[in-house]
Every structure is written in structure tokens, then in C-alpha cells.
């Protein structure tokens, strides 16, 4: 389940044009111009979202150049600051929400670290009985999985409570902002979402209710939720932008200064994709040679697939937002492999 | 959980040492000069570091302060023809990644002179002067201690505060991180011997870089300075009162600091670490993070003879009392110490005591001494552990 996105509609699946989400690797050496060209979007009018850059949101000269100047920055971070200025009550409530979220994340992480440490120790154990050893590994992995699920649920509840109590969607500043953002996107041919701070980016995307602006909910009996999202125009995203589009945002950084970090679930994303967890710059940020750690990570992502988005990577999802066959993913054994929808991973 | 020092493997060197090669040659002024021009001094070859001095003398020695080692290491005089300026040498074995400060001692008759190594450009500075530095094999000068062109600098502003507790005016400097905004809320770090950390540990540059690299959270840092250091730092009630009941309220009134104990940290080196610990101990629940470098945590298990001189009397009294009844003074403690300094023993001894209080203790040793460059080199580990940056949240 994704966070509250008001105004979703059930569209006519057959009549819809075939727009897709394209996820890219990090854009330090940018290829977004080539990608836009190859998608037939050269010269298209593009709505850009750089809210993850926070106060540098409008330092987007390079991006503007790459998009041939025909783009408009939605300025979500700046708009958010204006809302806080105009509506101090909402700002206070949001700050309180963020404080509670931070504490929830800290407490979840304490439990998670212990469970992951236990998993590492159990894996390192020299088994006298392989079956018993395997059961112990599975048990602790289930506990980690359960911790993740509970955390996501509690975070979602907190967000729902915030929206129910403070009703940002009924406040003038927010309504005005949402209307303007919706209008601008409606006038554009495509949307580009850059990386940056994923928490800040998600906060702005939710505040301006971008999910229904970007996509239409389509009935899908094959989907466990009964619907999937179909984007109304091509969406290209990388880094935090790619993570924000997915159902679940997982934070990871094995190369921290003091000790390898434990991957942690942050919250649900916009839910415009199905069955994947985006891992930007995976080969740089993850200790991919530590297969035990990678196995734990892929198990935690399951049933979603762990999708690395490394420099040069480009993944155009299926029309219903899924990973296409043959995409490079992290398999159950922790190594990279090719995705097969049947569940069998290729070589 | 302790962090194991990531020392590089023991350095290896194949073949003859350069100095031994030189000894086999027919020496004259030109040969020696060429040798010195071709080698950095000390000459580091694997674990062997050869110290050199060139000049007339009755005796020459290397003076260092590695604990439990002879700190006066005489040099040998190389046989040179009459009329050639003598060359003195000694080879010392140093483990990988060591950083050792030293000076050259030269004796002429009864007169002894000690000075920095004229052949070595590496010099470390401190409030009491400077020393030459030997960087053994495997030591790497951290890149984050020099200014990075893309790191936006924070701002340093003076804060003068009349202190009733200290009966003097306190002079502090406040570091505001780049992109400081009054609408944000920041953790607070209070640093003892603030100007020394700025001058000798490059802390302003380090903060700019760590914050830019997302290794450390954007933090407001207050660099405090002592009046009479030896009086104010070893468990001095007025000093603690100043920090907790004068400085902290003033900062909370003037700056957007997070008003929670877990977002506050006291930090210091040597006596500054004692000041940090004793200040936190006097008001538990106010300062929940401590960053203690080479703390002068001298104590006695029996009797009162601690050998540290009168300046250490209040320290020993405080530490002995604390050890009798250890209390949790902070939730999280980051402790560093150099293995070549005498304080390594009390620091190692205190780690389990602090842990026994339930505090989360991270302890890091380094092959270094009681010096500002040692404390500088540990800043990234400590600061990024105390107030971690948003690296996990940023995906470019």
C-alpha cells in the first residue's frame, strides 16, 4: 500500500497510450539527454523535480541544458518553504511528525541491528546439523522481514494520522500549490525526477500529491492490491527519484566511516512501480562482494526484486511498472543475475 | 562495540637499507649530498626508519616520546674522510601506519641543544611548540583535513559571554555550517581548547569537509577556550556550571539548536577530555554524547602517588571517586587514544568501566602519540559516529 494519494481514478486500460517509467543509474556523467532522445522526447516540454537537492533546487543549469532548455522546474522544495511560511500551524505539525519519524527510525534500527548481527553470527556458525542451521537462518531472516514490515506499517499509520488530523489537502496554501503543480505537469510531455535527499523528496512529492498527477490507477486482478499505476506521460528518474517512485524505499550504505551500515526501510514510496526495490549506485554503496550481506538484503526485499541502478544502467519498466525480463538484478544468492518473471533467474 | 584499528599489513622492504648501501661506498661531500637529495628523511624502508643528521657534534640522538621505548636514541657517526661534514644515522623499527613526533638532540661538550630535524620538512605544531614528524610506512595523511574546492565553508563568529560562574568573560567561537538556516534545527557540539582544535587540528576545514561529504550532520559547533586551563579543566565546578547553566541556555536562546540531550556533545583532548567527562558527570542527562581524545584519566588503585604532579591531583581525585561508583554520564561515548602515549593505559582501563554503566562506547586506538595531529586524524571517525551525516538518505 502506498501513502494516501487523493483523487486516484480507474482509467480505461486499453485506450491508454503506452507511457513508461525509465530508471537510470547515477547521473554524475549524465546520459539523460541521450535517454530522452532515444525515448523520442527530444524537444519535448519536460517537468523537472529537483526537490531532493533542497536549497540548491534551482541550481539546475546543467539539467536544463541537457533537456534542451524546454523544461520547467516544479520547485517543490521552494513551494514547501512557502507553505511553511503561510501556514505555521501545519509547519509545526509537520516538524513534530518528522521528529516522531526520526525516533521511530532510530528505535527500529536498534532492533534491526541486533537482528542483523544475530543473522551474521548464525550464518558464521559451523553447522553440526545443516538442517538446523538453515532453519535458524530462516527464522532470523523472518524476524528481520517482520521488523521491516511492521516499521513500514507504523510509518504509514503516522502519515495517515497526520493527513487525517491536519488535513493539508484542505489548507489554502497546499490546495493552491497542488493545483499549480498539477496544471504545470498537465502541460508537459514528460517528467524527470532527479536524485538527492530521498526523505525530503518524498515529503514534497506527497505534500503536492504527485502520485495521481503522474499516474492513473488501473484495475489489475493479477496484482495483490488489485490495481497498478499507469503513468500518464513518460517519467525518467534516477537516484532518490527512482527510489521515490517505488513501493518501498530502502536506505543502504555499507561504506560508512565507522562501521558498515545496516540497510533499513524508510517508508513506502509513491507506489508507481510494482515488485522492485531501487538500489541506486549499488556497486558503490553496497559491499557486493559480501554475499552474506547481499543475501540478507535480497531476502528482505523479497518478494520484490533488488534492482541495482549503477552508472550507465537504464531500465525502462513494463507498462504496469514492473522490471522487464532480462534486467540485471541481485538474485537470491546475493550475486547479480538476470531477471526472469517466472522466478527462475538466468545466468 | 570496539572498532578494530584498520592497520595496513606489516610493511616489507627487500634488499639493503639505503644507509647500509651508502656505508659501502667511498664517501665524500658530493656523494653524501646526492644521497640526501635523493631521499626523504627519515628514510622509510618497510618497517625501518632511518633518521639522519649532518653536522659537527660530539653526540647526536633522536628524542621521541613513544611510551615503553628508549626515548633517547643515540645516532652513529658515519666514517667520512677528513674535511667532509659528518653524517649521523640511526635506524628505528616502527609498525605500519605509525606517526611519531621527534626532535634531534645535538651535544657539543657539555652543551645540549634540541631542535626539529633540519632534513625533514614535516612539522607538527602545538601550543607548546613544534616537532618533526616521522610518517612510517602505511601512514596516510587524511584527505579530508585539507580544504576541498567544492566544500562550502561554514562561518566562524565570536561569542563573548560574561560568566558569573567563572568570574571572567568567556571567549568562544561559534561555527555555523554552510547553508545555515534559522528555520532548521541543529545538533550542538561544544569543544574544549577550541582555538587549539582550530589552529592545530584543522577542525574548521575538517567540519567543512565532513559536512560537505555527508559524513557528519550539519552541526553548530562552539569552540570554547579556558582561562586558567590547569584549574578550570580538571573537574572544576564553576567550569561545568558555565557550560551547562550559562553557555547552553545562551546558545539555545540565540541559535536554533535541538533542545535535547541526545543532540548535544561535549568534546575535548587530554585535560579537555577530563573537563568534558566531569561536566557531563555533574549534570547527568544534559550532555548525552562525549567525544574524548587521549583523556588524562589518571587514577590510582592503591595509595595516592600517581606520578603526574600537582596538576593531576584533582584529576586523580575525580577519577578515583568515579571508579569507586561508576555512573552513566552519557548515553554514547567515542574515545580515542594513541598507543604511543603514556595515557594509553588509563584510557584502556576506563573503557570497560564506562561500558559497565550501560553507555554505548566506541573506542579507537591509533599508532600515534599525545598530539594534535593524532587528535585531528581521528576527527572523522568520532564526529561521524556522534552526529552521523545523512549519507544514507542521499542518492545522487
pLDDT tens profile B111-169 = 999 999 999 999 999 888 999 999 999 999 999 999 999 999 999 999 999 999 999 99
Q: Cell triple for residue A141?
A: 531472516
Cα nearest neighbour of A285 on chain B? B392
Q: Is residue B180's pLDDT more than 70?
A: yes
Q: Which of B181, B381, B392 is facing A253, going by the closest CB pair?
A: B392
Q: C-alpha angle A30/B180/B285, rounded to 5°?
A: 120
CA angle B332, B334, B336 (to 5 degrees): 160
The yes-or-no verdict on residue A258 having pLDDT over 90 is: no
> Does A241 map to a domain?
no
pLDDT of residue B142: 96
In a domain, A217, yes or no: yes
Tell me which of A197, A257, A264, A285 to substitute to probe the interface with B (most B C-beta atoms closer than 10 Å): A257
pLDDT value of position B57: 96
Q: How far apart are CA A305 and CA B149, in angstroms?
A: 39
Question: Is A296 inside any structural domain?
Answer: yes
Pairing of strands B332-338, B360-366: parallel
CB contact under 8 A, A257 and B390: no
Contact A240 B395 (CB under 8 A): yes
Q: What is the pLDDT of residue B163?
A: 98
**Domain count of the fold of chain A:** 1
Put simply, the answer to whether B396 touches A281 (Cβ < 8 Å) is yes
Percent of chain B with pLDDT over 70: 98
| pLDDT of res. A222 | 87
B6 has pLDDT over 90: no
What was the pLDDT predicted at B5?
56
- Average of per-residue pLDDT across A14-40: 90
Distances (CA, A) of A24 to A170, A242, A279: 35, 8, 11
Domains of chain B are 18-135 (2.60.40.10), 143-393 (3.40.50.1820)
Residue A260: predicted pLDDT: 60
Q: What pLDDT band is residue A1 in, cutting at 50, 70 and 90?
A: very low
Q: Is B1 in CB contact (< 8 Å) with chain A?
A: yes
Q: Considering only alpha carbons, which residue of chain B is nearest residue A282? A: B395
Smallest Cβ–Cβ distance between A197 and the set B1, B384, B394 belongs to: B394
Q: Which residue on chain A is closest to B384 by alpha carbon?
A: A257
Summarised one tens digit per residue, pLDDT across range A64-111 is 999 998 999 999 999 999 999 999 999 999 999 999 999 999 999 999
Residues of B in contact with A281 (CB under 8 A): 395-396
From A249-253, B79-83, B88-92, the region with the lowest mean pLDDT: B79-83
Task: Report residue A11's pLDDT band, with 50, 70 and 90 as the boundaries.
Answer: very low
pTM for this predicted structure: 0.85
- Give me the residue from A55, A239, A258 closest to B396, CB to CB: A239
Contact B298, B316 (CB under 8 A): yes
Residue A12's pLDDT is: 47
| Burial (0-12, 13-18, 19+ Cβ within 10 Å), A179 | exposed
| DSSP symbols for B4-39 | PP-PPPPP---S--HHHHHHTS---HHHHHHHHHHS
Say whether pLDDT at A3 is over 60: no
Contact map slice: B 73-132 vs A, CB within 8 A: none
Q: Chain A partners of B391 at a C-beta cutoff of 8 Å?
A: 253, 256
Mean pLDDT of chain A: 92
Confidence of residue A15 (pLDDT cuts 50, 70, 90): low
What share of chain A has pLDDT > 70, as a percent? 93
Distance between A142 CA and the closest CA of chain B, angstroms: 24
B214: closest chain A residue by CA: A256
pLDDT tens digit string along A172-210? 999 999 999 999 999 999 999 999 999 999 999 999 999
Q: Where are the alpha helices (DSSP H) in chain B?
A: 18-23, 29-38, 194-200, 203-212, 229-232, 237-241, 248-254, 271-282, 313-324, 344-356, 372-377, 379-386
Region B43-50: mean pLDDT is 96
Q: Note whether A84 contacts B183, CB cutoff 8 Å.
A: yes
CB contact under 8 A, B385 and A28: no
> How far is the alpha carbon of B193 from chain A, nearest alpha carbon, in Å?
25
Full strand arrangement of the beta sheet holding B360-366: B155-163, B168-176, B220-223, B188-191, B264-269, B289-293, B332-338, B360-366
Spatial separation of the C-alpha atoms in residues A265 and A270, rounded to whole Å? 14
Mean pLDDT on A120-132:
96
Q: How confident is the model at residue B326 (pLDDT cuts 50, 70, 90)?
A: very high
Angle between helices A88-124 and A291-301 (to 10 degrees): 130
What is the pLDDT, as a whole number, of residue A225?
A: 85
Q: Which residue has the cell 567561537?
A: B173
Q: What is the pLDDT of residues B194-204, one digit of tens each?
A: 999 999 999 99
Most A CBs within 10 Å: which of B358, B361, B395, B396, as the mutation test of the A interface? B395
Contacts of A259 in chain B (CB under 8 A): 1, 3
Cα A104 to Cα A144: distance, rounded to the nearest angstrom: 16
Q: Give pLDDT, residue B183.
A: 80
Whether A334 is covered by a domain: the verdict is no
H or E segment at B325? none
Put simply, the answer to whether B183 touches A253 (Cβ < 8 Å) is no
Task: Give the pLDDT confidence score for residue B116 in this predicted structure.
Answer: 98
Query: At A224, is the pLDDT very low, low, confident or very high (cuts 50, 70, 90)?
Result: confident
Q: Pick the residue from chain B with its C-alpha nearest to A259.
A: B3
pLDDT at B362 > cutoff 60: yes
Quote the domain boundaries for residue A264.
21-236+247-318
Least CB-CB distance to A280: which of B181, B380, B395?
B395
Domain assignment of residue A2, yes or no: no
Whether A16 is in a domain gets the answer no
What is the distance between the terminal CA atoms of chain A, rounded to a whole angstrom?
A: 32
Shortest alpha-carbon distance between residue B14 and chain A (Å): 32
| Size of the A and B interface in Cβ pairs below 8 Å | 56
Residues of A engaging B, defined by a Cβ cutoff of 8 Å: 26-28, 52, 55, 84, 195-199, 239-240, 242-243, 251-253, 256-259, 261, 264, 266, 280-281
Residue written as grid cell 580544504: B147
Phi-psi region of B13 (alpha: psi -120 to 50; beta: other; left: phi over 0): beta
Read off the C-alpha cell for A288: 557486493
Amino acid at each position: 500500500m502506498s501513502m494516501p494519494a487523493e483523487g486516484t481514478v480507474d482509467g480505461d486500460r486499453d485506450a491508454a497510450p503506452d507511457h513508461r517509467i525509465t530508471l537510470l543509474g547515477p547521473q554524475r556523467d549524465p546520459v539523460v539527454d541521450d535517454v530522452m532522445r532515444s525515448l523520442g522526447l527530444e524537444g519535448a516540454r519536460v517537468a523537472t523535480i529537483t526537490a531532493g537537492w533542497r536549497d540548491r533546487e534551482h541550481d539546475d543549469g546543467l539539467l536544463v541544458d541537457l533537456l534542451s532548455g524546454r523544461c520547467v522546474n516544479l520547485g517543490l522544495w521552494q513551494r514547501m518553504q512557502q507553505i511553511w511560511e503561510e501556514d505555521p500551524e501545519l509547519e509545526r505539525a509537520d516538524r513534530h511528525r518528522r521528529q516522531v519519524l526520526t525516533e521511530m527510525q532510530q528505535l527500529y534500527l536498534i532492533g534491526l541491528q541486533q537482528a542483523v548481527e544475530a543473522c551474521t553470527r548464525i550464518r558464521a556458525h559451523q553447522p553440526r546439523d545443516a538442517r538446523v542451521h538453515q532453519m535458524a537462518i530462516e527464522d532470523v531472516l523472518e524476524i528481520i522481514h517482520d521488523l521491516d514490515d511492521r516499521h513500514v506499517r507504523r510509518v504509514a499509520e503516522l502519515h495517515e494520522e497526520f493527513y487525517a488530523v491536519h488535513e493539508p489537502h484542505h489548507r489554502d496554501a497546499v490546495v493552491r500549490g497542488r493545483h499549480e503543480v498539477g496544471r504545470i505537469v498537465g502541460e508537459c510531455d514528460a517528467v524527470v525526477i532527479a536524485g538527492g535527499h530521498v526523505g525530503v523528496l518524498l515529503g514534497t512529492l506527497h505534500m503536492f500529491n504527485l502520485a495521481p498527477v503522474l499516474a492513473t490507477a488501473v484495475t489489475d486482478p493479477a496484482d495483490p492490491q488489485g490495481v497498478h499505476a499507469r503513468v500518464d506521460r513518460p517519467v525518467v528518474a534516477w537516484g532518490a527519484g527512482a527510489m521515490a517512485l517505488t513501493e518501498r524505499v530502502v536506505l543502504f550504505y555499507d561504506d560508512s566511516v565507522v562501521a558498515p551500515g545496516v540497510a533499513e526501510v524508510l517508508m513506502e514510496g509513491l507506489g508507481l512501480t510494482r515488485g522492485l526495490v531501487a538500489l541506486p549506485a549499488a556497486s558503490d554503496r553496497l559491499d557486493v562482494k559480501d554475499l552474506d550481506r547481499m543475501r540478507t538484503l535480497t531476502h528482505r526485499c523479497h518478494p520484490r526484486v533488488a534492482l541495482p541502478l549503477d552508472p550507465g544502467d537504464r531500465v525502462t519498466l513494463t507498462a504496469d511498472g514492473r522490471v522487464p525480463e532480462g534486467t540485471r538484478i541481485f538474485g537470491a544468492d546475493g550475486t547479480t543475475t538476470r531477471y526472469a518473471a517466472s522466478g527462475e533467474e538466468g545466468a | 562495540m570496539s572498532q578494530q584499528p584498520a592497520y595496513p599489513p606489516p610493511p616489507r622492504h627487500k634488499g639493503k637499507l639505503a644507509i647500509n648501501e651508502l656505508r659501502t661506498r667511498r664517501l665524500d661531500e658530493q656523494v653524501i649530498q646526492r644521497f640526501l637529495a635523493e631521499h626523504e628523511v627519515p628514510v622509510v624502508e618497510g618497517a625501518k626508519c632511518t633518521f639522519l643528521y649532518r653536522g659537527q657534534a660530539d653526540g647526536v640522538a633522536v628524542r621521541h616520546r613513544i611510551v615503553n621505548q628508549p626515548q633517547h636514541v643515540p645516532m652513529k657517526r658515519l666514517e667520512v674522510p677528513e674535511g667532509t661534514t659528518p653524517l649521523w644515522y640511526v635506524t628505528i623499527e616502527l609498525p605500519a601506519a605509525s606517526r611519531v613526533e621527534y626532535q634531534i638532540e645535538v651535544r657539543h661538550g657539555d652543551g645540549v641543544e634540541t631542535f626539529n630535524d633540519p632534513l625533514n620538512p614535516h612539522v607538527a605544531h602545538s601550543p607548546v611548540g613544534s616537532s618533526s614528524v616521522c610518517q612510517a610506512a602505511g601512514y596516510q595523511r587524511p584527505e579530508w583535513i585539507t580544504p576541498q574546492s567544492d566544500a562550502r565553508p561554514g562561518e566562524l563568529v565570536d561569542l563573548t559571554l560574561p560568566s558569573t560562574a567563572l568570574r571572567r568573560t568567556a571567549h568562544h567561537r561559534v561555527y555555523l555550517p554552510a547553508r545555515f538556516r534559522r528555520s532548521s534545527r541543529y545538533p550542538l557540539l561544544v569543544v574544549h581548547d577550541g582555538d587549539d582544535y582550530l589552529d592545530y587540528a584543522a577542525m574548521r576545514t575538517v567540519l567543512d569537509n565532513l559536512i560537505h561529504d555527508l559524513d557528519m550532520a550539519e552541526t553548530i559547533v562552539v569552540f570554547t577556550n579556558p582561562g586558567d586551563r590547569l584549574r578550570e579543566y580538571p573537574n572544576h565546578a564553576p567550569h561545568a556550571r558555565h557550560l551547562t547553566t550559562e553557555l547552553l541556555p545562551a546558545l539555545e536562546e540565540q541559535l536554533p539548536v535541538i533542545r535535547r540531550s541526545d543532540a548535544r556533545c561535549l568534546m575535548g583532548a587530554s585535560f579537555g577530555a577530563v573537563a568534558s567527562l566531569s561536566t557531563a558527570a555533574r549534570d547527568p542527562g544534559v550532555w548525552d554524547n562525549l567525544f574524548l581524545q587521549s583523556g588524562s584519566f589518571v587514577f590510582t588503585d592503591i595509595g595516592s602517588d600517581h606520578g603526574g604532579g600537582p596538576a593531576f591531583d584533582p584529576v586523580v581525585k575525580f577519577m578515583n571517586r568515579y571508579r569507586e561508583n561508576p555512573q552513566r554520564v552519557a548515553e554514547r561515548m567515542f574515545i580515542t587514544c594513541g598507543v604511543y602515549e603514556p595515557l594509553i593505559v588509563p584510557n584502556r582501563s576506563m573503557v570497560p568501566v564506562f561500558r559497565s554503566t550501560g553507555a554505548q562506547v566506541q573506542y579507537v586506538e591509533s599508532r600515534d602519540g599525545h598530539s594534535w595531529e593524532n587528535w585531528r586524524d581521528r576527527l572523522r571517525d568520532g564526529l561521524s559516529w556522534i552526529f552521523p551525516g545523512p549519507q544514507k538518505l542521499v542518492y545522487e
